[in-house]
Amino acid sequence: MPELPEVETISKDLNKKIPGLKIRDFWTDFKAGKGLGKNIQLPPDIGKFKKEIISRKILKVYRKGKNILIDLSGGKLLLIHQKMTGHLLVGKWQINKVKSLKLKVQSLVSGEMQEKVNNYIHAIFYLSNGRQLALSDLRKFAKIMAGDKDKIEALPDLKNLGPDPLELTEKEFVEILNKQKGKIKQILMDQEILSGIGNIYSDEILWFAKIHPFARVEKLSNKNLKNIYKYTRQVLKEAIKLRGASISDYRDPEGKSGGYDKIRRVYRREGEKCPLTSLGTGLYCNGIIKRIKIGGRSAHFCSKCQKL
């Protein structure tokens, strides 16, 4: 799932590309009544949804947690949550009406945009400069909604989000974690406690902080919590600089991969050697990266330097 660095990359890029343009039309293959995972999530009344967005001018694109928010003229807000495998692309597509053709929606832009991962197009916003903003989403869990800004902001999707870890001071961060109970990895990924961190970056942060993913937050020392704060910022900022991690489906709005997956330390590195070296000695930790299940997800950690 795209996490804070990936969503930050997409929203920043989009904010350079689409403000000032108008939404001319909207296409989707969404069909009301089809269940979750068989459809992207849209309001059942597509006609009403279109009325909220068509002819509106795009004012600004930004992020809250993992949500992409697009301010539209007339006090409207468009919310897109990319969920598991969704990502937004700016390009040009044509919809093939011929059933024998394999691709229903075909990219007219060459290069990375032709990559398979960018070809699961389920929604297209037609823009006034002839370009399009499209959602590619293999698993079809992404969510799109629009309406009056104050009403959308009052929905649990946004209202219940915890603060952004990059906007917190050390003191605020430690105070928030001090109020929690449970396994630290799950706490870091809980969007109502902190917004934006998911499976990849929680593993990476805990590896740097040398804390086991199952460690109980209420038993961690203040020094531990300060370390988690330090590495949360370090890891997220590093990943933003590298334009995210493209381990699975995430791509930037031009269809290009991010660079963080190449330098990731533990996430999906089960069986590999821990990359930690003792400073100055060049000696490796020699621990092996392990994977354990946690609430339906996987945690990756070094069995030697992240002891429970």
Residues lying near Zn ion in the complex (CB under 5 A): 274, 276, 285, 287, 302, 304-305
Beta strand extents in the chain (DSSP E only): 23-28, 58-64, 67-72, 76-81, 86-91, 93-95, 105-107, 121-127, 132-137, 143-148, 289-294, 297-302
Tell the smallest beta-carbon distance from residue 283 to Zn ion (Å). Answer: 11
Supply the minimum distance, in Å, between the C-beta of residue 264 and Zn ion. 14
The span from the CA of 147 to the CA of 78, in Å, is 7
Choice between 162 and 287, CB closer to Zn ion: 287
CA pair distance 272, 266, nearest whole angstrom: 8
Alpha carbon of 10 to those of 34, 97, 135, 225, 303: distances in Å?
28, 30, 12, 30, 35
Separation of alpha carbons 10 and 237, rounded Å: 15
* Shortest Å distance, C-beta 212 to Zn ion: 11
DSSP 56: P
Whole-number minimum distance, CB 301 to Zn ion, in Å?
9
- Nearest by Cα to 81 from 124, 144, 15: 144
Report, in Å, the least distance between residue 267 CB and Zn ion.
14
Nearer to Zn ion among residue 230 and residue 304 (C-beta) = 304
Of 282, 296, 287, residue with least CA distance to 265:
287
Closer of 292 and 305 to Zn ion (Cβ): 305
Q: How far apart are CA 288 and CA 271, in angstroms?
A: 6
**CB-nearer residue toward Zn ion: 231 or 250:** 231
Cα–Cα dist 254/113, whole Å:
7
- What distance separates the 2 farthest-apart alpha carbons in the chain? 65
**With respect to Zn ion, which residue has the nearer C-beta, 126 or 208?**
208
* Active site residues per annotation: 2-3, 66, 297
